[in-house]
Structure 1
């Protein structure tokens, strides 16, 4: 156990130390404000305060972990070996940066509470983030800092055995619409057909009716392929199905259709299933509750995981709504248009509510890649290169890789050429040295 001496034990301090020490490094941590208790402890220990007591392992504390609410924080980025860091301390500290305060800033999403420009969907974008602007979005800096902290502790406590963890993957399959043409209803089928005619998309029109008549396979129906891949993988896939009503943003299948319900149940026999929360349920707790209860009725078990439509987050309201409905995990923390680490970490962490100054029970599972981002790369070779670089970064810290693909990504549509190969590359990555 690591004992931390500090002048004040605040909720922020406990939160970030437990993430770094327990979630990332696998060691228990406790805190004391009594010097006698600290001196008497004969194992792993450090001081985290303004002044060093003696020759102990010491990190000078930044004020952010002892503040409440939001403040204007002056951040200067420095290069630290092969990564970046902020909250510089100087040479007297055992580590030249306050990695705990910097980690809290990123994990709490402090910057997303501050004024920023949103995109057309009302989202916080990668380009608004400190990580993007300072060139470290591609690195899981919180995990890197945690490992540097561990290495520094090892030098001072060479006999202490640190546990190890292993690289993991959690493939996510997002299903905004299970089918292209099937189960769309008379009005949507008629509307789609007229649109095809108006735009002279005769091939699409032919395919539409061939699918409806049962002569052809629906292009978005890739579930058999995915279930077969699940059967040969030791890592569980997680599917998110949309159950929300048809709207400007969400164009899924009617959740009352028996075939659609059967599909969800069938997928749930082999894989984990969560709820893709509709766009308008993001800010409407009653609508969210309705969708949650519907999914629980289909699965016949409590809903564990959610993902927000369009990867939209309104902090802290979005997460408070999930907590109120006792949803345990959320998979929205990432960027649609950029690879990388939105919260600086590839380790799941608990949501810290900056308004209430409390650690909540909601587990945030950050994703690092959405399939759309790879479309920016022109060739399959370039896509593989970018993907391998991302996997390398996560493996360096034995983190969890959470890629998000869609059911239609595995269709025969030309824009998705090669994506099955990329998916297989991810599935095989834990076996690669």
Structure 2
């Protein structure tokens, strides 16, 4: 099944987010068109993403300006609840309560990271600045949740609309730069390390009286076995 989306103007931002939402998340093809006659004559799932309704049998979303802008400027973001989850870019007189395309683009592109912001001690974008942290959805796959609600709304308008339900699995991955703190580093390296930073812990580990503080592999293996996980380890082994 193919979805046809009409917009008054072509936008790379709109094309990008439509490809993600429809192809990556829903598993369906979506074509963006600016041809009004093509849209009017289309007889399957069609979405009108323009400033006014066009025909009766359409799914209408009133767009905010974000996807049709060519610059990066602060956006007016005011969150509200829909189905117990946060959303923003609220719209009225449409078939969906907010502009899911603009809101998804805002989050997926990390738009706010391109605006002036406070950095952490390593010069990175501090997560405390983010909308997701401030509004309490940093731990949620919010775009996927929105997409699920969007599918339900589309199916209400177009009962024949079929999408692919993806199966997800958790694969823990670990980037291990230093496998052990003291263990397996040899007498010379530990002696030099002790002279630079005297530590009773180092002595006890080297003598075999205490477990290396970085040696958590048995605990991790037990955890993976308990929850039937297949982890992937990346060890930095370059000299």
TM-score over 0.5 for the pair? yes
1:268-325 residue CA offsets vs partner (Å, 9 max, x unmatched): xxxxxxxxxxxxxxxxxxxxxxxxxxxxxxxxxxxxxxxxxxxxxxxxxxxxxxxxxx
**Structure 2 partner of 1:82:** 84
* Cα offset, 1:134, TM superposition: 2.5
The 8 Å contact of residues 180 and 213 in structure 2, kept in 1 or not, is answered as yes
Counterpart among 223, 230, 238 of residue 232 in structure 2: 238
Change (3 A) 1:205 1:111: same
**Structure 2 partner of 1:17:** 18
**Structure 1 partner of 2:48:** 47
**Structure 2 partner of 1:189:** 190
Change (3 A) 1:4 1:117: same
d(CA) in 1 for partners of 2:38 and 2:9? 15
* Cα offset, 1:136, TM superposition: 2.7
- Partner SS state of residue 46, structure 1: strand
* Cα offset, 1:8, TM superposition: 1.8
**Structure 2 partner of 1:153:** 154
**Structure 2 partner of 1:206:** 204
**Structure 2 partner of 1:71:** 73
Map 1:364-383; keep pairs closer than 5 Å: none
d(CA) in 2 for partners of 1:89 and 1:188? 64
d(CA) in 2 for partners of 1:227 and 1:48? 50
d(CA) in 1 for partners of 2:134 and 2:211? 45
TM-score of the pair, normalised by structure 1: 0.50
Alignment gaps of 5+ in structure 2: none
Alignment gaps of 5+ in structure 1: 244-254, 257-433
Q: Does structure 1 residue 62 correspond to structure 2 residue 64?
A: yes
**Structure 2 partner of 1:370:** none
Change (3 A) 1:15 1:236: farther
> Over the residues paired in the alignment, what is the CA RMSD in angstroms?
2.7
Change (3 A) 1:183 1:133: same
Change (3 A) 1:231 1:77: closer
Aligned length: 237
d(CA) in 2 for partners of 1:61 and 1:120? 38
The 8 Å contact of residues 50 and 61 in structure 2, kept in 1 or not, is answered as yes
